[in-house]
Chains A and B, each alone.
Chain A
Amino acid sequence: MSRCRDGIRTVLRRALKVPWRFNRRWWVRRTCVCSVCQVPVLEGKSVQQTVDMLHRQLEQLGAMKQGSFWVDCETYHTTGTASGQPSKLLYVMHNSEAPLSCTALFEGGPCLMADGNFDVLMVKLKSHFQNAKGHKVESRGARYRYCDFLVKLGTVTMNSSARGISVEVEYCACVVPGDCWNLIKEFIQSFLGPNVPELPSVFATKAEGLFVPADAVDTMTQYLELFGKVRKQQVLQGASVR
């Protein structure tokens, strides 16, 4: 399976300088049920030591390493809003699974999938939306495959310092969260032990039996929630996370 959801057609189009046509739903390549959770750092260990231990556990399980991944999130806040209106936060996220696309979202609000030029547009909009540079959070790490599961084990960093660990598990053989959640939970348990996450709220709030959307919005929403927790942790704990 191709690692790049943007696909070979985009790459070829660019390489051959073929006039670019708006491709129907170009961001859609693959649909999976996905769970993103934060793993607590083991007592007496650093973030890196805990990540190394999880790597070993995955490899012992028989998972195959398939390159690396990254997910990042930039925060923009509105400037110069009309008096009385609260300042809104706009998040622009990128995912290595779709490197030419980006996801823009408001917390609890509408979400937009766009191509990479949206970042250029945000630069043009700097007089209305200011980039909170210190708030950039990203998760980077290794990507593993184990049968129909895809596991991404990342170190969450903010201002270049490690703040936590993220684990993303995708189950690619089913698109109905309610039907495969127990299976995903069991798989996560096999390498995370008791730290099994609850059913992600993005799925819990939806009617049972509903399909996951094909544009990976659910994944990005979960990462946004996780990054939000990491930011709050920083405020609460200061430097207590090693």
Chain B
Amino acid sequence: MEAPPVTVMPVTGGAINMMEYLLQGSVLDQALESLLHRLRGLCDNMEPETFADHEMVHLLKGQQGQPFLLRARHSLSSPTDPWHLRYLGQPEVGDKSRHALVRNCVDVATSQSLPDFLNEMGFRMDHEFVAKGHIFRKGSMKVVVSKLWRVLVPGNTENTEPLSLSYLVELSVLAPAGQDNVSEDMRSFAEQLKPLVHLEKIDPKKHT
């Protein structure tokens, strides 16, 4: 399963408001090997780690305001592992001094009854996909290179087709709110991956 962020546990006596700093980019399928080779050289020396995850995006619609969105993810390669429930807040692009997109983030590890439980809470599944790829780490930074697969028959993760001819590349760090200096480290790491991949802060609002 895709490795969860480095710091997700609450501290004793109250949880920290965690922010995810994110840079995104993509590479064509043909360029994957050279990017992986570069990442193996740059990142921490660890066992090559791959994952195949199924993600379901659930919506809770209230009487007013925006629907509440939660992501439930589980590993297809290790089905007995806990599920991963994720809340992501509104992304903030910020000014030029901040080099990464920032969004509030809550990660919860749960038991396998998560889909039934979300259904009981009133959430309804909006869409689902399968992500397969590789994970790298560099200190507190996490690099995920993954291909997204469209699920053709709802709930059947065997029957999928690739969403595009490219791989999504995400560089992320989880840090307490206000630690904008991590975006500087991310920028310098992203520089080292050029020209294989251009990691940028992509405003999702501009793509809806």
Contacts and interface: CB of A to CB of B under 8 A. Distances in A.
A112 interface: yes
B4 A21 contact: yes
Interface residues of A, number: 41
Contacts of B68: 124-125, 127-128
Contacts of B10: 100, 116-117, 119-120
Contact of B82 (A17, A22, A110): A22
Given A78-B122, A112-B111, A22 B84 contact: yes
B15 A119 contact: yes
Contact of A111 (B3, B85, B113): B113
Nearest to B1: A22
Nearest to B114: A112
A109 interface: yes
B111 A20 contact: no
Given A24-B82, A80-B64, A116 B116 contact: no
Nearest to B11: A14
A183 interface: no
Contacts of A14: 9
Interface residues of B, number: 38
A215 interface: yes
B9 A116 contact: yes
Interface of A is mostly: loop
B121 A127 contact: no
Given A80-B64, A82-B63, A19 B6 contact: yes
Given A121-B87, A128-B122, A113 B7 contact: no
28 contacts: A17-B6, A19-B6, A19-B137, A20-B6, A21-B3, A22-B1, A22-B81, A22-B84, A24-B80, A25-B82, A79-B62, A80-B62, A88-B120, A88-B122, A110-B113, A111-B117, A112-B110, A117-B108, A118-B108, A120-B10, A121-B106, A124-B68, A124-B106, A127-B62, A127-B65, A128-B62, A128-B68, A215-B111
Interface of B: 1, 3-10, 15, 60, 62-65, 68, 78, 80-82, 84-85, 87, 89, 106-111, 113-114, 116-117, 120-122, 137
Going nearest first, the 8 A-B pairs with the smallest beta carbon separation are A113-B111, A112-B117, A80-B63, A114-B110, A110-B116, A80-B62, A117-B108, A120-B15
Interface of A: 10, 14, 17, 19-27, 78-82, 88, 90, 100, 104, 106, 109-121, 124-125, 127-129, 215
